[in-house]
Structure 1
Amino acid sequence: MLQLTPLSVVSFGLFLLYRFIYVPLFYDPLSRIPGPWSFAISKWRLAYEEWKGTRTQTIHRLHARYGPAVRIGPAEVAFNSLAALRTIYGAGSGFERTSFYDMFDVYGKKNLFTFHSSKDHGDRKKLLAHAYSKSVIVKGSVARGIEEKVRQFIDLIQRDPVCASEIFTSLHYFALDTISDFLYGDIGKTTCLLGCGEDRALLDDIMNIERRKLSWFAVHFPKFTGWLYSRTGALEMLLQPFYPMRKPTTYTGIRKHGLRAWEAFSASSAQSKLDPAVRSTIIGKLWEHHESHKNGGLSDLDTASECADHLLAGIDTTSDTLMFLIWALSRSENRIYQERLIQEVRGIPTAVLNVDGIPSVEPCGRLPYLDAVIKETLRLYAPLPSSEPRSFHAATTIDGYHIPKGTIVSMAPYSLHRNPLVFTDPLKFNPERWLAPASETADMKKWWWAFSSGGRMCIGMHLALAEMTTLVSAIYRNYHTTINQRLKHTTPGITSRFEVFYDETLPVMREHECRIGFHPRCMAPIPSKC
C-alpha cells in the first residue's frame, strides 16, 4: 500500500508548481506575451468566460489593457493589429483552421468551412468560386431569384404585418428561402415567406438560445457530447436531463432538409440533372464533380455536406445583419441616416425596376449611401464577431513574438472594428464615416474585416451583399421604419457560437426578438400601399 510521506507530498507540490506555474509563466516561449497569469496557466480560465458568454468582450478588454498581443491560454494568443492580420490570414499564409471547426462538420464529412488544410479548402473552393462570383450573382437567374424573394418579403409586410414586424424571425424566412433556392432550386427550396409552416419550423432549433450551451460542450468536451447525443432507448431517456440543449439540437431541421434535398436530387433522372436551371444551382454544379463521373470526385455525403454547410452559413449571417441594419436606422437618433437612404433608393430610375416594382440587383450594389450603411452595420454588428482560430505547422513570428508550433492564434472582427484610433467614437452607429475622403477612410477599410480575408475569405460575400442591398432598397423605397417608444432603450441580441451579441450602449437586451413598425410612404411605386 502506497504511503504518503512529508517528503513525497512536498515533492509532488513542487512538481505541480513547476509544471503549472513556473513553466507557463517563466519558461514557456509564450511567457513574453503579456496577459493575466490566470489565463496563461489554464485553458479553463478562458473557458469560464466562454461559459458566461463573455469571451469576445473579455479579450477586447484585455487588448485595451495589454496591447495588440495578449496571451489568453497556455497555448493560445489573441492578436489585434494589421501586421498580425496579414501574417495569419493573408493569402498563402500557411495558417490552418483548428479542431474548433470540427463541430461544424455535416453528416460526418468535412466541407469548405471545416477543412483544416489550405490545400483541401482550396481544391473544394475551385469547384464553386465561379458560381459565387459577382458577375454571376448580380445578373441572370440568381439575381431574378433574389428579386423574387424580395418581392415576397414586401408582400409579407402587406399581407401579414404582424408576422413581418418581428424582423428577427421574418428576415430568417427571407434568408432561408433565398439560400435554399440558390443551392437546390425547385428540388429543395423553402417557402417560408409564402407561409409554409413546415418550412418555417426548420428554424425552430436555430432560434433556441440553449444552442450556446451546446456549442460550449461541443468545443470543450467533443467526444463526451457526441457520445451523449448518440445514446438511444432507456439510456437516452435517463440522460436527457443532462443534455446541454434539448433535442432537436441546433441545425437538426436544416441538416435533415439538406439531406432530403440531396436524396431527391440524386434520385432524379439523368435528363433532369442536365436541365440548365438545375445545373445553375450549387447542387447541380457539384454534381458535375460527383465520383460517378470521374475518379477522385465527390461522394454522395461530400456533396450533401457541402450544400448543407452553405445552407447553414447563409441563414443567420444575412438575416442578423439585416435585422441590425433596419433596427439601427429605425432608432430616433438615427432618423437622419434613414431619410438620406430613402432619398437615395427612391432615386433609383424606374427603368431598372423589374415588373413587380422591385429594384434590380445590379444597380442596388452601386448605391454609395446604402453601401456605407451596410459597411457600418457590419462594422458595429458583425454577425460573426468572435475569434477565428488558426495554427501553424512550424514555429513562426507574429508581431515580433516567437510563436511555437501548434499554438492557437486568433483575431476577432469585434476588436478590429472597435479600435478607437481608427474608428472615431467606435460604439456609435455612423454610416457617414465611410463617405469621408479616401485619405480618411483608407485605414478604416484596412481594419474592416466583416468577411475575413485571404484564401478563407467568405465565398458567399457577393450573394449576401446582393440580398442585403436589394431588400433594403425595396423596403425603403416603400416604407419608413420606426421602433416603439417603449423599446427605445432595448437592443436586439443574436446568438453566435456560445455568446450573445447586442448593442452594449443600451441597458435592456432581448435575444432573438426585434419589433419594427413599417409605415407606407405615399409615393410608393406599388399602388396598393397608398
Structure 2
Amino acid sequence: MALATLYLVGLIAAAYIVRLFFTKGHGASSHHNIPGPWTFSISSWRLAYEDFRGRRTRTICQLHAKYGPVVRIGPDEVSFKSPTALRTIYGAGSGFQRTNYYGMFDAYGRPNLFSFASGKDHGDRKKLVAHAYSKTVMLRGSIAAMVESKAKQFLELIQTEPEGVSEIFRTLHYYSIDNITGFLYGDSGATSALTGNESHRALLSDMLDPARRRLSWFAVHLPSFTKWLYSRSGRVEAILKPVLPMQKPAMMTGIRQHALAAFYRFKESSQKKKSSEVRGPTIIDRLYTHHQTQKPNGLDDLDIASECADHLLAGIDTTSDTLMFLIWALSLPQNHGFQAKLIQEVTDLPGSSLNGDGIPFVEAGDKLPYLNAVIREALRLYTPLPATEPRSLLTPSLIDSFEIPAGMVVGVEPYSLHRNPNVFKDPLKFNPERWLNVPLERLNEMNRWWWAFSSGGRMCIGIHLAMSEMTALVAAIYRRYQTSIAPGFENVSPGITSRFEMFYDELFDKIEEHECRIKFAPLGQM
C-alpha cells in the first residue's frame, strides 16, 4: 500500500515537473513566480474537486491567507486579492473578457448581457437598457411607486403569518420576483407571488432546489456529458433518471418558460398597437423598439427573450438573499442595538417622506445614513455573489507585477476582499457602524476593498433597482416592526445557494439551507 502511494506521488510530481518546464505558452515566470500549492498548478480538477465539495470560495480565501494576494489556483488560472488587481482586470477598457464559464447563462440559445464574452457586444446591448436602470429612474416615478407597493404587499403578507413568524427566505423571494417581473415585463409577465398566486410561487421551486448546485457543477466541468444526460428520452431517460444531478424540470426551467411566454404575450399585444402609441417604461418595451420588425439587423424574438430572462434570473436571488441575511443579522440578540438605531432613524421620517400607504418613499430611504450603512454591511459580509468572476485576455498582461500569459484565467472574489482583517476590523462580525463616523482615509480604504456589485463596464446593471428594493422594504419593515429570531431557530445560520456552494455565517455551527424564521412584533410589543 505504501509503495503504491509513493508511486502515485511520484507520478504526480513527474507531471508537475513536465508542466513546469515544457508546457507550451506559459513561461518560467508564470510558473515559478506565482505562489500557490503545487497540487492546484498541475490539474484543473484539483479546484474542480473543491467545487464539488462546495468549498471553492472558502478554499481560495484560505489560500490567499497562506500565500498572499496572488495565488495560482489552476494550471491556467490565478486568483488576485487587491484593489489594484480589480482595476486592472475589471476596470473600464481593460480588455479582459468573460470566459466560457458564462456560456451556461445563455438562454434559448442566445447570449445576453451576463454571458457575452466580448466587451463590445456587452456594451452595445447595455446601451439599449442602461437608462431604464439609472438611479434617477429608480428613485422616483412609476418604478419607485411599484417598489413601494410591493413593500406594502410584503407587510400585508407578514400580518397574515401565524403568531407573526415568517419564513423570510420564502417570502423575500416572493418580494424580489414580483419586483423584477413587474420592472421587466409590466402586465405581460408580472408575477403576484406576494398576494398568493400559487402558480407564480411555484416558479421558484426549481430555483430553490439545493440540487441546482450539483447540476451547476456538471454543467461547468462536464458540459457535453451533462447535455447528453438531459437530452435522453424514452427507456434511456428512465434508466438515467435516478442518477441525474438534478431531477427534471432542471434548473430555472420554470422561470425560463415564464420568461418566454411573457415575451410572446408582449409581442402579440405590441403588434396590435398603433406605431404612434408611446411604449411603456419596461425593459421589454425598450428592447422591442430594436426588434427586427422595426430596425434592420435588429434583435430577433429569442434575443429579446434571452435578455429579459437573464435580468429576471439575476434579479431574484441576489436581492432576496441579501435582505434575508440583513433582517436575520439585525434580529440576533447581540445586534438589537443596531436594530434600535435603525428603528429610530426610520420612525423619525416626517410625513412628507411617506406615500399614501405610510410606506417611505424610495427617495427618502436613499438619504438615510444608518439604513444605508446597514445595507452596505450586509452586502459586505453576506455578498450574494461571493465567488470569483473569471476573466481572460488574448494578449499577455501584467497584474500586480506578475506576468500573466495570454489566455490565462484571472479573477478576484468579493468573499476574500471583504474579509481582509487589515481593512475590516473583526471582518466576520456584522457591524454597520464601521461605515459611520470614521476618518475619511479609513472610509476610502474600506470602499476600495468593497466590491459587492462588480465594477467597470461589467458592473451590475441592476445595482440601483436592488438598492431601491432593499431601502424601501427595510425602511417599511422597521417603521412598523421589531424583529427577533423565531423560537426554534436560535443559534442557527440560514444558508443560501450560489453557483456550486452554500453560504452562511461562519460563526455558526448549525445551518439551515433555504430557511430563516423571523418573528415580527409591532413596535413596542416585543
TM over 0.5: yes
**CA–CA distance in 2 between the matches of 1:30 and 1:264?**
55
Partner residue in 1 for 2:425: 424
Partner residue in 2 for 1:470: 472
Deviation at 1:131, TM superposition (A): 0.3
**CA–CA distance in 1 between the matches of 2:278 and 2:158?**
29
Partner residue in 1 for 2:58: 57
Letter in 1 for 2:520: F
1:512 aligns with 2:511: no
**1:128-147 paired onto structure 2 within 5 Å:** 128-147=129-148
Partner residue in 1 for 2:97: 96
Deviation at 1:236, TM superposition (A): 1.3
Deviation at 1:146, TM superposition (A): 0.5
1:158-188 CA-to-partner distances (Å, cap 9, x unmatched) read: 1234797100000000000010000000111
**CA–CA distance in 1 between the matches of 2:167 and 2:264?**
34
1:386 aligns with 2:391: no
Partner residue in 2 for 1:200: 201
Partner residue in 2 for 1:338: 339
1:368-400 CA-to-partner distances (Å, cap 9, x unmatched) read: 000000000000000000000000010111111
Partner residue in 2 for 1:126: 127
Deviation at 1:114, TM superposition (A): 0.3
**CA–CA distance in 1 between the matches of 2:421 and 2:12?**
45
Letter in 2 for 1:118: G
1:389-439 CA-to-partner distances (Å, cap 9, x unmatched) read: 000010111111110000000100000000111001100000000002322
SS of residue in 1 equivalent to 2:79? strand
Structure 2 vs 1, CA of residues 17 and 475 (structure 1 numbering), >3 Å: closer, same or farther?
closer
**1:217-366 paired onto structure 2 within 5 Å:** 217-272=218-273, 279-366=280-367
**CA–CA distance in 2 between the matches of 1:175 and 1:275?**
33
Contact 2:132 2:283 in 1 (8 A): yes
Contact 2:16 2:42 in 1 (8 A): no
1:502 to 501, 504, 510: 504
**CA–CA distance in 2 between the matches of 1:308 and 1:44?**
31
Identify the range of structure 1 (455-464 vs 160-169) with the bigger mean alpha-carbon deviation.
Answer: 160-169
**1:104-119 paired onto structure 2 within 5 Å:** 104-119=105-120
**CA–CA distance in 1 between the matches of 2:275 and 2:59?**
52
1:19 aligns with 2:18: yes
**CA–CA distance in 1 between the matches of 2:17 and 2:59?**
28
1:368 aligns with 2:373: no
Structure 2 vs 1, CA of residues 184 and 26 (structure 1 numbering), >3 Å: closer, same or farther?
closer
Deviation at 1:32, TM superposition (A): 1.4
Contact 2:20 2:28 in 1 (8 A): no
Partner residue in 2 for 1:445: 447
Contact 2:492 2:511 in 1 (8 A): yes
Letter in 2 for 1:233: G
Partner residue in 2 for 1:30: 31
Letter in 2 for 1:198: S
Deviation at 1:107, TM superposition (A): 0.7
**CA–CA distance in 2 between the matches of 1:36 and 1:317?**
32
Deviation at 1:273, TM superposition (A): 7.7
**CA–CA distance in 1 between the matches of 2:108 and 2:135?**
30
| Count of aligned positions | 513
TM-score by length of 2: 0.94
**CA–CA distance in 2 between the matches of 1:434 and 1:97?**
32
Contact 1:109 1:302 in 2 (8 A): yes
Contact 1:332 1:482 in 2 (8 A): yes
Contact 1:182 1:282 in 2 (8 A): yes
1:490 aligns with 2:489: no
**CA–CA distance in 1 between the matches of 2:210 and 2:177?**
19
Contact 1:163 1:170 in 2 (8 A): no
**CA–CA distance in 2 between the matches of 1:154 and 1:417?**
32
Deviation at 1:291, TM superposition (A): 1.1
TM-score by length of 1: 0.93
Letter in 1 for 2:484: T
**CA–CA distance in 2 between the matches of 1:214 and 1:470?**
35
**CA–CA distance in 1 between the matches of 2:335 and 2:13?**
60
Deviation at 1:28, TM superposition (A): 6.7
SS of residue in 2 equivalent to 1:165? strand
SS of residue in 1 equivalent to 2:502? strand
Structure 2 vs 1, CA of residues 233 and 162 (structure 1 numbering), >3 Å: closer, same or farther?
farther
**CA–CA distance in 2 between the matches of 1:275 and 1:155?**
40
Structure 2 vs 1, CA of residues 165 and 382 (structure 1 numbering), >3 Å: closer, same or farther?
same
Letter in 2 for 1:465: M
What is the percentage of aligned positions where both structures have the same residue?
Answer: 58
Partner residue in 2 for 1:4: none
Contact 2:165 2:519 in 1 (8 A): no
Partner residue in 1 for 2:190: 189
Letter in 1 for 2:58: Q
Contact 1:96 1:391 in 2 (8 A): yes
Structure 1 residues not aligned, in runs of 5+: 1-11, 524-529
1:279-303 CA-to-partner distances (Å, cap 9, x unmatched) read: 2111011001111111121110000
Structure 2 vs 1, CA of residues 132 and 511 (structure 1 numbering), >3 Å: closer, same or farther?
same
**CA–CA distance in 1 between the matches of 2:287 and 2:403?**
42
1:230-259 CA-to-partner distances (Å, cap 9, x unmatched) read: 122222112112211111111111000000
1:200-248 CA-to-partner distances (Å, cap 9, x unmatched) read: 0000011110110000011101111112111222221121122111111
Structure 2 vs 1, CA of residues 332 and 278 (structure 1 numbering), >3 Å: closer, same or farther?
farther
**CA–CA distance in 2 between the matches of 1:496 and 1:251?**
13
Identify the range of structure 1 (100-109 vs 26-35) with the bigger mean alpha-carbon deviation.
Answer: 26-35
Structure 2 vs 1, CA of residues 115 and 490 (structure 1 numbering), >3 Å: closer, same or farther?
same
**CA–CA distance in 2 between the matches of 1:26 and 1:123?**
36
**CA–CA distance in 2 between the matches of 1:205 and 1:164?**
25
Contact 1:273 1:279 in 2 (8 A): no
Deviation at 1:29, TM superposition (A): 2.6
**CA–CA distance in 2 between the matches of 1:432 and 1:15?**
53
**CA–CA distance in 2 between the matches of 1:350 and 1:72?**
55
SS of residue in 2 equivalent to 1:500? strand
SS of residue in 1 equivalent to 2:203? helix
**CA–CA distance in 1 between the matches of 2:205 and 2:325?**
20
Deviation at 1:445, TM superposition (A): 0.5
Contact 1:380 1:427 in 2 (8 A): yes
**CA–CA distance in 1 between the matches of 2:494 and 2:125?**
36
RMSD across aligned positions (CA): 2.0
Contact 1:318 1:464 in 2 (8 A): yes
Structure 2 residues not aligned, in runs of 5+: 1-10
Letter in 1 for 2:45: W
**CA–CA distance in 2 between the matches of 1:70 and 1:487?**
38
Partner residue in 2 for 1:42: 43
**1:62-73 paired onto structure 2 within 5 Å:** 62-73=63-74
